[in-house]
Amino acid sequence: MTNTNSVQNLINEVMATRGATVSVFGQPHKIDESVDKGYVDIIEILEGFQGHEVETVLPAQYEVVMATYSDDPEHNYDIIDSNDNSIVIETGFDTEEEAEERMYELQEYNTAAVSVEDYLEYMEELGALEEESADNSYNWSGNVSNHFNFQTYEHEDGSVYVEFKVHLYGDVRGNYTDSVLLKFDDEHAFLEAISECDSSEDYKGYTIHFSALNEGYEILDAEGWTEGEKYSWEDVIEYIDGLVSEETTEEV
């Protein structure tokens, strides 16, 4: 049994689009092979998530029924597959209690890997997970190569589960990777994992800081003092060029 919930799967999906030609609104569109300046690479964020994957496996779904074929049907029970009652897992139990005890053992032993969606549905039905916040980096224009969507859940043990998927291309309402389910101590730890990938670029003696969690570009001088904030890379470059021009004029 292999857990299919893997961050690496999302990394592979994103990398498969880099440099590829895809259809956007029915027209061919070639995706850049590299990430433009001023954007955090979603691959770095995903790599930081590795090790946080939830093991999305569930116990087998069995049930106990009175045996159909038995010399003494009132005192003979079978364990069958809940999804296909024609499949008998074990048979010949004298009491229902004996059959149920064995059924629970078999369910835990015969676990199966399931999709994130099936796992979440099962856990919510059990009452082990409760939906919390949801958002998309597109909503705040995060400076990230690929926008991402997430839904958080509070687990009964106090931890936070995060369903996370990455937008690949085209309309942000569609064209996403499969979901991956992550586990963190709390929502702050999840956001902190993203902010650890904040990046910066140096330009003409100034440092430009940017984040997937923020739409702005913070401009710092050589001493680390904030010189301002702009909301597009072009505006940042124009602003710094202006600062450098003023400095040059003052020196003359």
Q: Is residue 170 part of a domain?
A: yes
Question: Are residues 95 and 170 located together in one domain of the fold?
Answer: no
Predicted confidence at residue 112, as pLDDT, reads 84
Domain containing 22 equals 7-56+115-195
> Is the pLDDT reported for residue 79 higher than 70?
yes
Tokens of 189: 């730890």
Predicted confidence at residue 111, as pLDDT, reads 86
Q: Is residue 1 part of a domain?
A: no
Question: Are residues 154 and 95 located together in one domain of the fold?
Answer: no
- The answer to whether the beta carbons of residues 152 and 169 sit under 8 Å apart is no
What is the total count of domains within the chain? 3
Beta bridge partners of 90: 79
Question: Are residues 180 and 222 located together in one domain of the fold?
Answer: no
Tell whether pTM > 0.95: no
Question: Are residues 42 and 122 located together in one domain of the fold?
Answer: yes
Mean pLDDT of the region 4-13: 95
Domain boundary, last residue among 162, 178, 195: 195
Question: Are residues 85 and 127 located together in one domain of the fold?
Answer: no
Predicted confidence at residue 247, as pLDDT, reads 83
Question: Are residues 171 and 124 located together in one domain of the fold?
Answer: yes
Per-residue pLDDT reduced to its tens digit, 113-133: 889 999 999 999 999 999 999
The secondary structure element, H or E, covering residue 12 is: helix 7-17
Burial state string for 21-48 with b = 16 or more CB within 10 A and e = fewer than 16: eeeeeeeeeebeeebeebbbbbbbbbeb
Question: Are residues 122 and 184 located together in one domain of the fold?
Answer: yes
Q: What is the arrangement of strands in the sheet containing 160-166, beginning at the earlier edge strand?
A: 129-136, 148-155, 160-166, 180-184
The residues, any chain, with a CB within 8 Å of residue 96's CB and separated by 6 or more, are 64, 77
Predicted confidence at residue 246, as pLDDT, reads 87
Question: Are residues 206 and 236 located together in one domain of the fold?
Answer: yes
Per-residue pLDDT reduced to its tens digit, 157-170: 999 999 999 999 99
Q: CA 53, CA 4: separation in Å to the nearest integer? A: 10
Question: Are residues 66 and 164 located together in one domain of the fold?
Answer: no
Q: What is the mean pLDDT of the chain?
A: 92
Domain boundary, last residue among 195, 218, 239: 195
Question: Are residues 91 and 213 located together in one domain of the fold?
Answer: no
> Is the pLDDT reported for residue 71 higher than 80?
no
The residues, any chain, with a CB within 8 Å of residue 177's CB and separated by 6 or more, are 9, 10, 13, 14, 165, 166, 168
Per-residue pLDDT reduced to its tens digit, 178-202: 999 999 999 999 999 999 999 999 9
> Is the pLDDT reported for residue 250 higher than 80?
no
Question: Are residues 145 and 30 located together in one domain of the fold?
Answer: yes
Question: Are residues 139 and 208 located together in one domain of the fold?
Answer: no
